[in-house]
Structure 1
Amino acid sequence: MAPRQPRIRPRTRRLLTSRPRGARTLLAALVIAAVAVPVSGAARPFAVPAPVPAALAPLRATPAALAVRYAVNRGSIQAAERMATGHGDRKRAAALRELADPERHFLSFDGRDGGRSVEVFGDLSTARRIAVLVPGAGIGLDKYWRLRAGGVALRRELGDGSAVIGWLGYATPATVSREAVTPGLAEHAAPELRAFLHELKRSKPSARITLLCHSYGSVVCAEAASGLKVSDIVLYGSPGTGAHSVAALHTPATVWAGRGGSDWITHVPHAQIRLPFVTLGFGTDPVSPEFGARHFAAGDGGHSDYLKPGSLSLKNLARIVSGRTPAEEGRHA
């Protein structure tokens, strides 16, 4: 989830959309390099120390087992808050105090290296429909409220019998960075996401599980997609996935794609350039016909508005999670 919209000069935008395919691809590489190279050496703000988290038993979605797991992770968060306070980082300590609220429910927590967490919104033990949110760039413990706000809004839209899980199980890239236009972090995150979803399915075998993937999170989901036992994979605000088509994801799930009318990511070049030591870009646009995903209407919102209360995109994401047909533009019922 990106906090600000990158600025693309009008002349550059015209060049990206008017040149022949070969020239456009070359220009895409230059644009990507121009954005990535100057900031690729910037230090990541992950210097706040945190303790090794407590060991966890395998996930069991019973009320008693979940209560124990939530309590263990609350203790890990409180230990991280004490260490952040001792380190003198008031901002991180304040963020952790909010996470340690007894009303919050975490399936896992690790405060190291910018933070990893998996939070539940709703009652997982009784949920028949489960949405797993995978965020994109710029989300960490200090800006975790962005993921939480989306999880709360979606849970309210879904209503009873549902749960939403905010899966911040990887080190997200900085919004404007070389990491944000390369698949490296997604490749490292995919095994963790796949393992979590397998564990979730074992604990909730009859639940309908949907994977909701925003921005760079769609690259993570694509890397993890092969063989996943989920009903739907939804890509929104996606820069591409690294795959040229739905078939290349090797998933039995229904794959959806949508984009808001004011999302700046529309103007990101959908190219993939393989260089000797790195691959830049993510290839085919997921909302294009050649990708082969089912399209859902996402309204006219921007890159960070897909889970905004009252939006068409939120309503349609909830419909997909519930196994219903998304509404068309102009029809919100």
Structure 2
Amino acid sequence: MRLRSRKARGSWKSRSKRTLIAAALTTTIVAGTTGWAVGNEQQPLTGPPPGTQAWRTDHTWGVRLPDPASTTPARVAAFFDSLSQAQQHRLAARHPSVVGNLDGAPTALRFEANSQSLKVERARERARETNPRLTLQDHERARSLVARYEDLLSPGRQILAFDPRGRGQVAEVYGDLSDASHVSVVVPGSDMDLGTFDRSKDEYGTPAGMARSLHASAGDDTAVVAWVGYTTPVGLGPDAATGRLADAGAPRLARFVQGLTASGTPRPAVFCHSYGSVVCGLAAPQLPASDLVVLGSPGMRAESVADLHTSARVWAAKDESDWIGDVPNVELFGLGHGEDPADPGFGARRVPAERAEGHTGYFAPGTDSLQAFAAIAKTTSSTVSDHGTAGWAPAADASPTGERP
């Protein structure tokens, strides 16, 4: 008993010391970058999709359309099931920006609606390119957006969500979502938006690059969704150190995943990178996920797996060369994101990452982490009921790790 008391006191002293150091470091960083950080403070995009007001006042068929802000994805799915194919297509043509972002609407219909929305936005920006009343900077911005929209309209791309407001948000599917045996969702961290979603620089640090790599490794029976559906932090200012943007993004993620399952997909494995793991941690109680996999995480705003209040299996990966390991794992006065999910005491299952390099190398081909991610992504939905069992692992021929928590 005395030994346990000494250990408890030692642990408390260690945590207190770590908290004080973290507070001093955080205060210094924030004070030293105030001007830079304030200039990069992001206003989160919240609320229903663009075009919602016109949707709400459309009584063409003598029925009230499901409110994008308050109707559950399951009820949205039931509403579309009650329509004929012709009615669905007419609705998408009248309100593409709503249908394209309406969680619970049929997948193929959302692809169709978002294609139309992209064409509308492309035409708008083409007009701005030569508008004499705009500045040269406006013209350059318009040209950039035209190129961006044309790229997203390339044949074969499957855009499941598209919102041009703010920095822009997008979700893209890799694989056949309507017929997949397994589904995964990738949630990115800082600096991701419509423009950086699939940039060529640092490919495996982008949501598109991570999703493509996972799909290639997991195989054609697995569909992967790259989701940039929340306002991410820019740089390393206070936005990245607090949960403000994650608080705004968590309900959007939860609703998006609920929309997938309401549309008939299997419960997905959700892969959360960096600040995206903060979003996933806050969304966890409402996420109908089979697995939560965090990588390069600064914390999930939870002290342990139990504090996530999720029935999903929880996994964590962190390689030794990842700079995130230098970030103090505390939460004090709203700064910091809590315990390290890769710490054994957190209770997550370990994902090996010895061959991953840096903060954005976890999905790189040939890494042990990618191999493990693919094995997790391919676990069958029938094993979901086993998520609370500490000894669970994927099938022996595809096991991510031999270790157990």
Give TM class, smaller chain.
Answer: 0.7 to 0.9
1:61 and 1:124 in contact (8 A); partners too: no
Q: Deviations over 1:189-229 (max 9, x none)?
A: 11111111111111125x24111000000000011100422
Distance 1:263 1:289 in 2: 18
- Counterpart amino acid of 1:250? H
Q: For residue 25 of structure 1, report the CA deviation from its aligned partner.
A: 1.4
Match of 1:290 among 321, 341, 345: 345
Distance 1:282 1:227 in 2: 19
**Unmatched 5+ stretches in structure 2:** 1-12, 44-49, 52-95, 131-137, 199-205, 380-393
Match of 1:7 in 2: none
Change over 3 Å in CA distance of 1:175–1:58 after alignment to 2: closer
- Counterpart amino acid of 2:375? R
Change over 3 Å in CA distance of 1:166–1:78 after alignment to 2: same
Match of 1:196 in 2: 256
Q: Deviations over 1:129-149 (max 9, x none)?
A: 111000001111221112211
Q: Is the aligned partner of 1:113 residue 2:186? A: no
Match of 2:385 in 1: none
Match of 1:135 among 188, 194, 213: 188
1:226 and 1:249 in contact (8 A); partners too: yes
Match of 1:259 among 309, 318, 321: 318
Change over 3 Å in CA distance of 1:233–1:134 after alignment to 2: same
- Counterpart amino acid of 1:54? S
Q: For residue 44 of structure 1, report the CA deviation from its aligned partner.
A: 5.7
Q: For residue 230 of structure 1, report the CA deviation from its aligned partner.
A: 1.1
Distance 2:345 2:181 in 1: 34
Distance 1:41 1:112 in 2: 21
Q: Is the aligned partner of 1:327 residue 2:327? A: no
- Counterpart amino acid of 2:234? A
DSSP 3-state at the match of 2:246 = helix
Q: For residue 77 of structure 1, report the CA deviation from its aligned partner.
A: 5.1
Q: Is the aligned partner of 1:54 residue 2:97? A: yes
Q: Is the aligned partner of 1:211 residue 2:254? A: no
**Unmatched 5+ stretches in structure 1:** 1-18
Match of 1:317 among 366, 370, 373: 373
Q: For residue 72 of structure 1, report the CA deviation from its aligned partner.
A: 3.1
Mapping 1:18-167, distance limit 5 Å = 20-37=14-31, 38=33, 39-43=36-40, 54-56=97-99, 59-61=104-106, 63=108, 65=109, 67-76=111-120, 78-79=122-123, 81-82=125-126, 85=129, 87-88=138-139, 89=141, 90-145=143-198, 146-167=206-227
2:319 and 2:358 in contact (8 A); partners too: yes
Match of 2:297 among 226, 232, 238: 238
RMSD: 2.4
1:81 and 1:96 in contact (8 A); partners too: no
Q: For residue 31 of structure 1, report the CA deviation from its aligned partner.
A: 1.6
2:110 and 2:161 in contact (8 A); partners too: no
TM-score when normalising by structure 2: 0.69
Match of 2:287 in 1: 228
Distance 1:61 1:310 in 2: 35
- Counterpart amino acid of 1:108? A
Q: For residue 85 of structure 1, report the CA deviation from its aligned partner.
A: 4.1
Distance 1:246 1:263 in 2: 22
Q: Deviations over 1:140-175 (max 9, x none)?
A: 122111221111111111111111101100110013
Distance 2:121 2:221 in 1: 28
Q: Deviations over 1:90-132 (max 9, x none)?
A: 4444333322213211111011111111111111111111110
% same residue: 37
Distance 1:312 1:238 in 2: 18
Q: Deviations over 1:265-309 (max 9, x none)?
A: 0111011112xxxx0001111011221111110224210111112
Match of 1:280 among 326, 335, 349: 335
TM-score when normalising by structure 1: 0.83
User: What is the aligned residue count?
Assistant: 301
Q: For residue 259 of structure 1, report the CA deviation from its aligned partner.
A: 0.6
- Counterpart amino acid of 1:306? Y
Change over 3 Å in CA distance of 1:283–1:103 after alignment to 2: same
Whose strand proportion is higher, 1 or 2? 1
Q: Is the aligned partner of 1:307 residue 2:380? A: no
Match of 2:92 in 1: none
Q: For residue 262 of structure 1, report the CA deviation from its aligned partner.
A: 1.1
Distance 2:168 2:127 in 1: 13
Distance 1:84 1:326 in 2: 53
